[in-house]
Chains A and B, each alone.
Chain A
Amino acid sequence: MHGLAFFLFLIIVALTLVITYYASKRTKTTSEFYTADSSLTGWQNGLAIAGDYMSAASFLGIAGMIALTGFDGFFYSIGFLVAYLVVLYIVAEPLRNLGKYTMADMIAARFDDKKVRGVAALNTIAISIFYMIAQLVGAGGLIKLLLGLDYIYSVLIVGILMTVYVVFGGMTATSWVQIVKAVLLMVGTFIISIIVFAKFDFSIAKMFHEMKTATPLGEAFLNPGNKFKDPLDTISLNLALVLGTAGLPHILIRFFTVKDAPTARKSVVYATWIIGLFYVMTIFLGFGAAAFVGYDKIVAANPAGNMAAPLLAEALGGDFLFAFVSAVAFATILAVVAGLVLSAASAFAHDFYSHILRRGQATEKEQMLAARWASVGVSVLSILLALFAQKMNVAFLVSLAFAVAASANLPTIVFTIFWRRFNTTGAITGMLVGLISALVLVFFSPNVWSPQPGAAIFVGEPLFKLANPGIISIPLGFIGAIVGTLVSSKKSDEKKYTEIVVKANTGIGRV
């Protein structure tokens, strides 16, 4: 069993390295490194966004959650999808028109201020690193389950591959790894879904009917409330999901890979179709695993349910399908972490080094070198953190990343485009308040504190009762930005705002 899976893993490694080899020939300038020279088509970027976004958490995590808790797992599928309306309506086009390489570029287009850029870059790095540790720790555990490799080797393999893609192939390699992964993930999920649906005679009625008796939850399996008991926490989670995506740096930088705002818009629409179809299919994965693998076996393999999808593949299609789905999960992890390395490295190299440290005076060659070294640095740091975090429950880091993205990035992005009075003080306080409140609330939350030894990182009563801080930290981020603006004596530069509105909406004078 492991032999076949191992073989397919090797094929994926080989394929992605071939991509990187060809991409490296087209990665000589910073524009090529950061944005693939804005040469992607709407379709390509749509697939790459999907590949960047659908992490192992959504593939394996949601399938497991639906299998174990029924309806509640599906909340994630819905939130992850509807979030793209925020991206489409509010963020994608102005971002493309105002920014060059990073999210901080967009804010700096209005506020040419080092502190603003620095704080925006800090947020990008914080979000990317949280997200990456969650992915790497998950990857280490997963590959251990799938291949029997030690955790340390698993993390090192994924870590080295992501470094190679980004350092040599930049955004071109990252994009194509994401495109290949998106196709593989859709094909794999579709095959499983069709087999599951066939087992229910292609009848939705039959499927729902049989699910009422298929799990230990009985009829309650199909009703909400098995996982999310606290109404406020449920709404808080939904809030972070729907607003977070539009502030995730590794998603935002994807819009710089196309030539203009209309293409950015098209790529969101394509991505929304692909991501939506995928999340619809998570029902078949979850129901299928609950019905054909069974609760006990899923929990025995992994208490969080992360093995539900691969086990389902095995139950349905034997060794080959198991190996294929495992390989798809592996590709999924690689594509997401590569995107994360690139977004954190661009914040280090483009924002901190080129703009703040060198005041925009660095030569093209120096900038390229900085970008490559930053990628290596980000990767090494993430690998080390992931190795130390092996025993920790890091699932909450993904929701933390979404909460910080929604609380710290989104208010500033929105006000930069839409609020005439907004000023540098408001931008800085908004971003810092959003970041710090999300971090502090999570630190005191049940994710970190539990009276039960082993259930969380520390033993004790959590001071903050919600697992998801969004409902508090997101309004705080907005309030921080508003209060900072109003108390500051700085006048907003009216002329600059007019310029930003024209640029954001038309792309005239676009960088």
Chain B
Amino acid sequence: MAVKKQSRADQGGINYDAIAQSASFRGLIQAKKRFIIPATVFFFVFYFALPVLTSYSKALNALAIGPVSWAWLFAFAQFIMTWALCILYSKRAAQFDAIVEQVKQEAAEGGNA
């Protein structure tokens, strides 16, 4: 099925420049950047903070809750962070998918003429 789609697309001659310049496509890229860039910077900082702190200081060895130290809490927080960013992205991506549909529709209507 996928193969057929491609050959049809080749014959149709998709105008990628027109799609790239359309308002909806540019909106899609902007929306994606607005989410992905800050989220990526955040999780890299959050992730590397753990080995950097444990390697260069003993601060995280202090006990946080009962016998559990800050290092363990921070380690668990990495899991929570990962899952939370997955959920956030899934929600946001539903909006991206809606814009993609719009871009596709516009391309089908006007782009192939």
- A14 adjacent to chain B (CB < 8 Å): no
Which parts of A209-223 form the interface with B (CB within 8 Å)?
Answer: 209, 212, 222-223
CA distance A508 to B107 in the complex (A): 9
> CB-CB < 8 A to A90: which residues of B?
36, 40
> CB-CB < 8 A to A222: which residues of B?
67, 69, 72
A506 touches which of B36, B86, B100 (Cβ 8 Å): B100
Which parts of B34-72 form the interface with A (CB within 8 Å)?
Answer: 36, 39-40, 43-44, 47-48, 50-52, 54-56, 58, 60-61, 65-69, 71-72
Closest residue on chain A to residue B8 by CB atoms: A509
Proximity string of chain A (493-507) to chain B, C-beta cutoff 8 Å, 1 when within and 0 when not: 001001101110111
Known: A209-B66, A495-B16. A81 touches B78 (CB 8 A): yes
CB atoms of B51 and A234 under 8 A apart: yes
CB atoms of B55 and A228 under 8 A apart: yes
CA distance A28 to B36 in the complex (A): 40
CB atoms of B48 and A89 under 8 A apart: no
CB atoms of B6 and A71 under 8 A apart: no
Closest residue on chain A to residue B100 by CB atoms: A506
User: Binding site of A, secondary structure by majority: helix, strand, loop or mixed?
Assistant: helix
Interface-located stretch among A55-63, A268-276, A384-392: A268-276
- A242 adjacent to chain B (CB < 8 Å): yes
CB atoms of B39 and A89 under 8 A apart: yes
CA distance A84 to B89 in the complex (A): 12
> CB-CB < 8 A to A88: which residues of B?
86, 89
CA distance A508 to B24 in the complex (A): 14
Known: A509-B14, A510-B2, A510-B5. A85 touches B82 (CB 8 A): yes
User: Binding site of B, secondary structure by majority: helix, strand, loop or mixed?
Assistant: helix
- Number of residues of chain B lying within 8 A (CB) of chain A: 56
- A186 adjacent to chain B (CB < 8 Å): no
Shortest Cβ gap from A208 to chain B (Å): 4
- A303 adjacent to chain B (CB < 8 Å): no
Closest residue on chain A to residue B46 by CB atoms: A82
B54 touches which of A225, A280, A502 (Cβ 8 Å): A225
CB atoms of B55 and A272 under 8 A apart: no
Shortest Cβ gap from A244 to chain B (Å): 13
CA distance A53 to B71 in the complex (A): 26
CA distance A272 to B72 in the complex (A): 20
Closest residue on chain A to residue B83 by CB atoms: A276
> CB-CB < 8 A to B85: which residues of A?
85
From A208, A209, A222, A508, residue with most partner B Cβ within 10 Å: A508
CA distance A48 to B9 in the complex (A): 31
Known: A74-B75, A204-B68. A501 touches B20 (CB 8 A): yes
> CB-CB < 8 A to A280: which residues of B?
76, 79
Closest residue on chain A to residue B36 by CB atoms: A89
Shortest Cβ gap from A352 to chain B (Å): 21
> CB-CB < 8 A to A205: which residues of B?
65-68
Known: A89-B39, A238-B48, A501-B20. A509 touches B6 (CB 8 A): yes
CA distance A231 to B90 in the complex (A): 35
A511 touches which of B6, B68, B86 (Cβ 8 Å): B6
CB atoms of B16 and A81 under 8 A apart: no
List residues of B whose CB falls within 8 A of some A CB.
2-3, 5-6, 9-10, 14, 16-17, 19-20, 25, 28-29, 32, 36, 39-40, 43-44, 47-48, 50-52, 54-56, 58, 60-61, 65-69, 71-72, 75-76, 78-79, 81-83, 85-87, 89-90, 93, 97, 100, 103-104, 107
List residues of A whose CB falls within 8 A of some B CB.
31, 38, 71, 74-75, 78-79, 81-82, 84-86, 88-90, 204-205, 208-209, 212, 222-225, 228, 231, 234-235, 238-239, 242, 262, 265-266, 268-269, 272-273, 276, 279-280, 495, 498-499, 501-503, 505-511
8 additional A-B pairs beyond A224-B60, A235-B51, beta carbons within 8 Å, are: A75-B51, A204-B68, A238-B50, A265-B93, A279-B79, A501-B29, A508-B19, A511-B6
